[in-house]
Structure 1
Amino acid sequence: MRKHHDRNANIRNRASPLRVLHVGPGRGQRGGIASVLAELDAQQGQFRREAVALTIFETHGFQNVKSLLCFFFFDIPCFFWALLRGVDLVHFHVSVHGSFYRKFVLYFLARLSGKKTIFHLHAGNFQQFWDASNSLIRKAVLCFIRGADAVVAVSSAIATELQGYWGIERGLYVIGNTASGAEAMAGAALRKHPTAMDADATPYVAFVGRLTEGKGIDELLGAMALLNCWGLKVQLRLAGAGDIDRWRRVAISYGVSDQVHFVGWLQGDEKLAFYRDAAVFCMPSHFESFGISTLEAMFIGQPVIGTQVGGFFDLVEEGVTGYLVRCGDVPSLAIRIRYLIENPDTANEMGHAAVLRAASRYSINVVVEQYIHCYQIVSGSK
């Protein structure tokens, strides 16, 4: 009996792994999808143990004529060559505009080659993209989404959108993102918040993301001004890239320029320390498909103040790991910030609960298992 078992194990070990080609941005690009691909690439060993071999295919963007030419004369031939080398499944990571157009061209090639495909939607503003598109683009959207062998949403809200607007019922999976660097510090990074009486530590509100209108920067600055009116002066520190000069001018108009600090694009330990030392993490986005920076903050032990949109509903448990306010509601935003800064024990409790929620739902092991399950169903091996 033992020999029979060993023989079956050897057969499985000799079997070729399922080869999955992940297609997304690269070539020095930053952002949510690029972070997701980096996380997946870092888990190659865990995927291999489950007989799945990943290859990351990075495309050029459409920022200028040169990158456009590189896509058509470099990326497309390389992609086609990868298909010919025996890829079993092509996993497309899709957002709006250029991201969609590039992936659709490559999807068309994959289907012509008879490959199975997955459409993975990362954009929280995909419905707006659809509404603004002409009939030809809408046909391409329907062809891509409905023609894929499976559709993946990064959050329950995106899954609901896919069901409601594009009628996807079968083959729909919700797979969140991971934050391995922050996860490695989970628990050890928990700290006490500085109290309002600690004269040596001015509390600061942390923000990590693109410095754009859609991330709610204007609302954050407005909340700082309102807190000043209420007699609570705190700092706002923003990590990320964007039109910093513009937001400095807005900060001046609100009268809070001396409290607002732009710390640039942070990575690695520097970014984790930025989360750790804050009084609260705040991300008042107008739309948010998932929220990788929110997940990072949760793993570090931060309570989160977000908005009632998209992926926040999956990440934040209202009143337990943080708070969700209405999008654009500056007074509610300021009230929640003030409450957590003036009640550090409550903020600490929420931070502990945030770590537990992040670990139970978005640990590397949990998310990789979800990918594996999806691949096994699509490939017919389960």
Structure 2
Amino acid sequence: MRMKALTDSQIVAARSAAPVRHYVPGGCENGGGIGRLVGYIASAAREAGRAHLVTDTRGPRWFAPTSLPRLLGAILIMARDRIVAPERIHHIHVAGRGSTSRKLILTQAARFLGCLHVLHLHDYDYSTDFAARSLHRQLLIRRMFQHAHYVVALGQRDRATLVRLLGVDERRIVVAHNCVPDPGPRSARTAETPLIVFLGRLSERKGVTELLFALSHPVMKELRWRAVLAGDGPVEDYRRRATAMALSNRVEMPGWLGVDDTRALCARADILVLPSHAEGMAMAVIEGLAHGLAVVTTRVGAHEEAISDGKTGLFVPVGDSDALAAALAKLVSDPEARKHLSAKGRAHFLRHFSMKAYLQSLERLYEAVSAQPQSKVGAP
């Protein structure tokens, strides 16, 4: 993090400030990876004695008759906070598509009310989403990011997008890789059949079609393994595809799993696979490292900032089901290779992706935000 040094009095004032409020599409329960991250942050902050409030800006999914009133409700909550807790920091999470449209409204309200606010960019390809918008909408988006007190990026690619495309002052950008709570040391596995897990929305972007082709590959059919593909999306469609590929006896698709069920699944797994075509920084990859799983993924988004090929995980080319099958077959058939990646990956997680370190970086961010002058209500 690159931020101005604070005086002792500024730090004391910042630490005594009112709690942070996060604005998340879908909240912690229905916000996908963003919601899960914010849920982890709120839980860890609560254990550390600091409250992080969470406000849903959309509802379970976008549906105008219910989502628009929820967005209006979020603005009213922000306005109330400006009166009863004027020092509160508003941490606004934004992605592309409809999320950006809603956050244009919410950040306009934050500027009008004079609220201290941070924008946190989560997206698998924000530059492409931005390029598809009208010139007028691009101007509004640039203004939104440029007027935030600080902007958080998931990795260096998104940092470059913020500087070069959106014109954000690089001194107000913080790179914060996603993180997950530490599930504790990995228990010894005694099962003879390795378990492969996929965590995320079942979709083409996540590479689920390539994954099914890889699992049905001749090299995999000769080996003993099971797989669980856990996530929402068109689950029934992918179940039918798996059945057509004669995978139904080996592959389970339980749908979206909550935090506890995800943790239980990872505790009995051996390999985490995520052959995505595009990502920011996938929570699933960090979950895999935390649980000491052998991680197989692609060089997209900020994954190269989390995985070192052959040391803490394996990379395969995007869209290459043959290479994916070969990587999975190698890990399924070689317990020592799995053990090596497991140990190195978990050690890497403990050094770089712990919740404690993440919360400390957030506290430094919030201290820097709190030291900024607040605008008056109604200021442009």
Which TM class, normalised by the smaller chain length? 0.7 to 0.9
- C-alpha distance 269-15 of structure 1, shift in aligned 2 (>3 A): closer
**Which amino acid letter does the alignment assign opposite residue 138 of structure 1?**
Q
Q: Report whether the alignment pairs 1:326 with 2:325.
A: no
Deviations 1:89-124 (A, max 9, x none): 322111122222222211111111222321110111
**Which amino acid letter does the alignment assign opposite residue 35 of structure 1?**
R
Q: Which 5+ residue runs of structure 1 have no aligned equivalent?
A: 1-7, 195-200
2:92 — aligned with what? Answer: 92
1:37 — aligned with what? Answer: 38
Deviations 1:205-264 (A, max 9, x none): 211111111111001001112245773353321111121121123224434333221123
**Whole-angstrom distance in 1 between the partners of 2:332 and 2:166:** 43
Q: CA deviation at 1:46?
A: 6.0
Q: CA deviation at 1:19?
A: 4.3
Q: Secondary structure at the match of 1:264?
A: coil
Q: Report whether the alignment pairs 1:347 with 2:338.
A: yes
1:152-231 maps to which residues of 2 (within 5 A)? 152-168=152-168, 169-180=170-181, 183=182, 185-187=183-185, 189-192=186-189, 194=191, 201-228=192-219, 231=222
**Whole-angstrom distance in 2 between the partners of 1:14 and 1:335:** 52
**Whole-angstrom distance in 1 between the partners of 2:275 and 2:286:** 14
Q: Secondary structure at the match of 2:216?
A: helix
Q: CA deviation at 1:305?
A: 0.2
Q: CA deviation at 1:139?
A: 1.6
Q: Secondary structure at the match of 1:43?
A: helix
**Whole-angstrom distance in 1 between the partners of 2:114 and 2:336:** 57
Q: Secondary structure at the match of 1:328?
A: coil
1:338 — aligned with what? Answer: 329
**Which amino acid letter does the alignment assign opposite residue 25 of structure 1?**
P
Q: CA deviation at 1:378?
A: 2.5
1:76 — aligned with what? Answer: 75
Q: Report whether the alignment pairs 1:308 with 2:299.
A: yes
Q: Report whether the alignment pairs 1:55 with 2:53.
A: yes
**Whole-angstrom distance in 1 between the partners of 2:98 and 2:14:** 41
**Whole-angstrom distance in 2 between the partners of 1:210 and 1:380:** 39
**Which amino acid letter does the alignment assign opposite residue 137 of structure 1?**
R
1:109-188 maps to which residues of 2 (within 5 A)? 109-168=109-168, 169-180=170-181, 183=182, 185-187=183-185
Of 92-101 and 301-310, deviating more is: 92-101
Q: CA deviation at 1:24?
A: 1.4
Q: Report whether the alignment pairs 1:289 with 2:280.
A: yes
**Which amino acid letter does the alignment assign opposite residue 129 of structure 1?**
D
Q: Secondary structure at the match of 1:213?
A: coil
1:260 — aligned with what? Answer: 251
Q: Secondary structure at the match of 1:211?
A: coil
Instruction: Please tell me the root mean square deviation across aligned C-alpha atoms, in Å.
Output: 2.6
**Whole-angstrom distance in 2 between the partners of 1:267 and 1:40:** 16
CA contact (8 A) 1:244 1:262 kept: yes
Q: CA deviation at 1:12?
A: 5.1
Q: CA deviation at 1:327?
A: 0.9
CA contact (8 A) 1:207 1:237 kept: yes
**Whole-angstrom distance in 2 between the partners of 1:14 and 1:101:** 31
Q: Report whether the alignment pairs 1:276 with 2:267.
A: yes
**Which amino acid letter does the alignment assign opposite residue 155 of structure 2?**
S
* TM-score of the aligned structures, taking structure 1 as reference length: 0.86
Q: CA deviation at 1:350?
A: 1.0
CA contact (8 A) 2:82 2:113 kept: yes
Structure whose alpha-carbon radius of gyration is higher: 1
Q: Secondary structure at the match of 1:263?
A: coil
2:234 — aligned with what? Answer: 243
Q: CA deviation at 1:374?
A: 1.4
CA contact (8 A) 1:205 1:234 kept: yes
Q: Which 5+ residue runs of structure 2 have no aligned equivalent?
A: 1-7, 373-380
- Aligned-residue sequence identity (percent) comes to 26
**Corresponding pairs, count:** 360
**Whole-angstrom distance in 2 between the partners of 1:77 and 1:330:** 49
* TM-score of the aligned structures, taking structure 2 as reference length: 0.86
Of 315-324 and 231-240, deviating more is: 231-240
1:197 — aligned with what? Answer: none
**Whole-angstrom distance in 2 between the partners of 1:360 and 1:134:** 43
Deviations 1:176-196 (A, max 9, x none): 22222xx1x331x243475xx
